[in-house]
Structure 1
């Protein structure tokens, strides 16, 4: 006999410390879930506070306000009649926990603290929270007096337990616990828990979604059961973009999947599932049954006297289980088009900005940044046409438009909020100037074409008057230090001019009541890693949508956008030689980024991945690449490239301490502020590792022989 139950999970665009806004989005998700007939609603991790509060979690106010918002939710009659799984921080015995609170009809049923905390990469949960280390243990939790007055309860259960209704059993796990080797969902399923929820604050990285979905699908395939995954979505105030993709899976098959990138603040995903399918699936796997009978962990059941699968649905021919579907994944090029664009829109609307300003150089990095802004405008128009009232209101507020204006065209929207400027010098080419103008025209940004030679000359003249010395470029006989100084002054002046134009262009255009534009940076992750940028140049900005994306991926994105957005001009950016255009161009010489760096962008991506993700120092990186790059490169060539990378990485590490906050998209981001906690003053020679590398090179070239132990005794 079928036992049908409708379940709901959701993507919520929560904002750190926006307690009332977060509350209202939670209430809206509950309303939609009930409207769709759901009996259980699951929300994202820490949804009342927003996930990214960081050190604000250490403030007692945050816990206090969380309870205040939670009480307001409990008191609403429209939140009754459905089992709610809501996330917030809770203090228990003077210890702060990241918790799920399960409630029904205005009563708190159970509080479940997070067992395993995310504490690497972008995450520092153990800075704010303590994991619940007592497997299977439940304690008594005394509710705050204000909560007692509303619920009439004084104590509730707190700990590692599960909810038992009259017809099924429900267990909750939180985000990181899914990624651990012994995920709680395994022991829960072996103990007969049929429905497992996972509330997450999982961020977007290129090509990461498949890992998350594979874990869910494989887990339910091996263990059986229903799995509800909820996630935060949007920029909640920092570098990360939480990419939603709420999911419901049954016995290894996806039955419902939410969008990954979207401007909707609330998205509810529902599915009707048959609990009898779970029981049949599990009962038919003998090895699972044997493990279940010998499972060491038996969870305490918190009993709720309700039936989640109503009897009347069993014979309703109009209700049937949701059909399975294939999991959906975006291509990396689409992820770049959508993720940073959504992040930019959230950032703009939440900081009360009036638009963006971008120094548009004619190179592929600033081109990619401009196209991402264009993609943002396309998304806004798409959502407006679909009736998203929040997006329409935000667009009117940002553009200072009248109450009857409607964002119906991406180019019209860009003309109101996007400003670009080509900052050329005598070292710039006509090709980059033309490309910039054509791209700006295609996107319809408000574009300024500027020649800044007089400003550069004036600054150099000040130095000459003060010192009596005039620096000249290397190509004209100057030294390397003169050459570098003359390049850097151009780059730094561009930063100063960028902020001047960003503040005054709205005034020039007669746009009232604006506080200036946000300046966009456009240094990619590989250049940041190598330090191939001038400190406090035009890479210094307010935010950077491509600062976590590799040059290789940006090229793929531009090729995709050329066709998808019908912008043939982008093909010219792809074929152009990457150049900073900071040195004079002659018949014999044109500055090239890759020649200047001494390595290709593809090689930089490899270096970055091995350094950060595989945790390689110079010696271990050399050994890996010795195998990967042979016979294309000799041992001495590999050694030279590795040493050169680590040398420049080390001497430029200080630049990461002032790096513009960037959209996080790659695991090897060198962002010192959050993600890459390494010192910024280190010996760039890596002398001991270099000696070991030289010894291996000598052996490869037949100049020396010996055992691996000899390398240990180099002096």
Structure 2
């Protein structure tokens, strides 16, 4: 006998503090879910406020406005006839909780606070909320007057409980609770809960999605049951991009899944499931039955006298259980093409921007930034072709175009939104200038090409007049400090010119009603970590789409894009030697990034991962790499590289406090001092750790410790 029920979960592009916009997207998702015949609708974590409000959660206004929006949602007759699971902050007995509110027909059934909070990496939930640590406890919550007038209820249950309808049992967990060792869904399933919802604010990282899907499949495979996963989508106003991928799983198999990257503000995923399959699956596992019969965790049941799977559906031949949906994963190259592109679009449309400015140097980093922006234009064009009216409306607004303008190609969009410039000096090569021009022509950006030698010479001349001393490059006999100063002045002048051109290029083009362009940064995660950038140059922009992506992954992305986007010009960037072009080029010398840094980009990625993700200091990092890199490198060579990395990481740590906000794509990103909580004044030689490293090297190479000195770096 079948017991069919249609369920709905969703991806919503919510925005922090956009109360009315968030409300409207919630209402639209409810309408779509009802139109598809769903009896239960689940939304993302903190969907009324937006997940990324951060310290705004500490403001009482946020709580007030959340209740006001919630009242407007549940009072509408079109939101009745479906069980709603909606997220918002709730203050109970003067304590702030991250909560799920379950309602039906305008009545609040139950409020479930989050038990396990995300409080590491990018998350600081315990700064804003308190976890509900009273397992199995339910209290009375007195509703605010604004809600009492709508629901005619004075109080509702609040705590660790589940919903029990006439035909099934429903429990909720929130985001982090799926990732904890002792997830609530385990106890819920053993206590007979058949449908579990998870409302999430889970951000995108390269190669991360499989972990999320594996956890959901594992949860329902071991415990049996139906699992509804909902997620935030888009740029919520910060560095993170929430990548959606709402899904429904039954007994370890995914039956419905939403898109991972999309410009759709509202996406509803539905599936019809047979509850009898859950019951049969669980009953067939003897050990599960024994554990369920012995479990001491008994959840209080909030009884709701309705059927979610009415008898009439059992004999409707037009309705059948949704078939299995095989998992699909984007490659890292595809993720780079899609994630940062969607993030850029959300950012520019929501900040009322009129496009972007990018200093296009002819190197692979700025090339990748330009290509990601072009990918954004491709995605926008595709959505417009598919009839997405919101994207077309936003495109007209950002481009400051007429209301009847409809783009005919991604290149036309790119021409209106992306402004590029090659800021050359006498140290620049014709090859980089040519590559920049060719790339701009291919993607359609509005390009300006100029030389800035006179400006550089003028600044150096001011110094010479003031001091009577003229710095010269090292290759011509100057000192290292002169050489560095001459490089840095070129880099910093590019930043000044970038902002000048970003403000005035729309005016030059006659684009009306614009306040200027967003300046795009193009420093990759490895260079940020090593500090191989000039403070207040490429580290200074408005946003940076590649600041959390490694050089290795960027190269793979460019190779992918050259074929996928039909852009052969990208091969020239791949084959070029990475160089800052800040020193004179001679017959015998061309500046090289990896030679300057004293380490390869692949080594930098490894250092970054071990430092932040595996929490390694110099000594433990050396021990790990000693086993991994020998015999390719000798113990002393491994030691030298580790010491060199930590030296430059330490002396350049101050640069990371002013890094441009970057798309977060890697766990080991240095980010800024809000998310990488390490001091920026550090002894760069780590003397005790260096001594211990030297002792291990001596043992490995049969030398006495007196023969080895702590490496000195000038």
Instruction: Tell me the TM-score normalized by structure 2.
Output: 0.98
CA distance in 2, matches of 1:401, 1:30: 33
Structure 1 residue 399 corresponds to structure 2 residue 390:
no
CA distance in 2, matches of 1:692, 1:476: 41
Q: Kindly provide the CA deviation profile for residues 478-499 of structure 1, in whole angstroms up to 9, marking residues without a partner as x.
A: 0000000000000000000000
Q: Kindly provide the CA deviation profile for residues 172-230 of structure 1, in whole angstroms up to 9, marking residues without a partner as x.
A: 00000000000001110010000000000000000000000000001100100000000
Q: Which residue of 1 aligns with 2:690?
A: 690
Q: Kindly provide the CA deviation profile for residues 516-552 of structure 1, in whole angstroms up to 9, marking residues without a partner as x.
A: 0000000000000000000001331000000000000
- TM-superposed CA distance for 1:674, in Å, is 2.9
CA distance in 1, matches of 2:237, 2:146: 30
- TM-superposed CA distance for 1:246, in Å, is 0.1
Whether the aligned pair in 2 keeps the contact of 1:635 and 1:701 (CA below 8 Å) is yes
Structure 1 residue 160 corresponds to structure 2 residue 194:
no
Q: Which residue of 1 aligns with 2:532?
A: 532
Q: Kindly provide the CA deviation profile for residues 259-293 of structure 1, in whole angstroms up to 9, marking residues without a partner as x.
A: 00000000000000000000000000001111111
Whether the aligned pair in 2 keeps the contact of 1:380 and 1:407 (CA below 8 Å) is no
- TM-superposed CA distance for 1:310, in Å, is 1.2
Q: Which residue of 2 aligns with 1:651?
A: 651
CA distance in 2, matches of 1:331, 1:294: 44
Q: Which residue of 2 aligns with 1:349?
A: 349
Q: Which residue of 2 aligns with 1:712?
A: none
Q: Which residue of 1 aligns with 2:138?
A: 138
Q: Which residue of 2 aligns with 1:636?
A: 636
Q: Kindly provide the CA deviation profile for residues 634-682 of structure 1, in whole angstroms up to 9, marking residues without a partner as x.
A: 0000000000000000000000110000000000011124321111001
CA distance in 2, matches of 1:397, 1:624: 53
Q: Kindly provide the CA deviation profile for residues 128-180 of structure 1, in whole angstroms up to 9, marking residues without a partner as x.
A: 00000001100000000111111000010000000000000000000000000
Whether the aligned pair in 2 keeps the contact of 1:357 and 1:420 (CA below 8 Å) is yes
Aligned length: 706
CA distance in 2, matches of 1:534, 1:391: 37
Structure 1 residue 387 corresponds to structure 2 residue 387:
yes
Whether the aligned pair in 1 keeps the contact of 2:7 and 2:41 (CA below 8 Å) is yes
When structure 1 is superposed on structure 2, of 530-539 and 27-36 the one drifting more is: 530-539
- TM-superposed CA distance for 1:402, in Å, is 1.2
CA distance in 1, matches of 2:296, 2:547: 48
CA distance in 1, matches of 2:426, 2:703: 51
CA distance in 2, matches of 1:399, 1:639: 53
Q: Which residue of 2 aligns with 1:615?
A: 615
- TM-superposed CA distance for 1:705, in Å, is 8.9
Q: Which residue of 2 aligns with 1:311?
A: 311
Whether the aligned pair in 1 keeps the contact of 2:523 and 2:539 (CA below 8 Å) is yes
| TM superposition outliers: structure 1 runs of 4+ over 3 Å | none
Whether the aligned pair in 2 keeps the contact of 1:9 and 1:246 (CA below 8 Å) is yes
CA distance in 1, matches of 2:570, 2:289: 58
CA distance in 2, matches of 1:189, 1:680: 48
Q: Which residue of 1 aligns with 2:227?
A: 227
Q: Which residue of 2 aligns with 1:121?
A: 121
Task: Kindly report which structure 2 residues correspond to 1:262-273, keeping only aligned pairs within 5 A, or say none.
Answer: 262-273=262-273
Q: Which residue of 1 aligns with 2:299?
A: 299
**What CA RMSD, in Å, does the superposition of the two structures yield over aligned residues?**
0.8
Instruction: Tell me the TM-score normalized by structure 1.
Output: 0.98
Whether the aligned pair in 1 keeps the contact of 2:255 and 2:324 (CA below 8 Å) is yes
Whether the aligned pair in 2 keeps the contact of 1:384 and 1:408 (CA below 8 Å) is no
Whether the aligned pair in 1 keeps the contact of 2:694 and 2:705 (CA below 8 Å) is no
Q: Which residue of 2 aligns with 1:710?
A: none
Q: Kindly provide the CA deviation profile for residues 433-457 of structure 1, in whole angstroms up to 9, marking residues without a partner as x.
A: 0000000000010000010000000
- TM-superposed CA distance for 1:408, in Å, is 3.1
Q: Which residue of 2 aligns with 1:477?
A: 477
- TM-superposed CA distance for 1:407, in Å, is 2.6
Q: Kindly provide the CA deviation profile for residues 289-348 of structure 1, in whole angstroms up to 9, marking residues without a partner as x.
A: 111111120000000010000111101111100000211110000000000000000000
SS in 2 for 1:122: coil
CA distance in 1, matches of 2:673, 2:22: 27
Unmatched runs of 5 consecutive residues or more in structure 2: 707-714
CA distance in 2, matches of 1:680, 1:673: 9
Q: Which residue of 2 aligns with 1:575?
A: 575
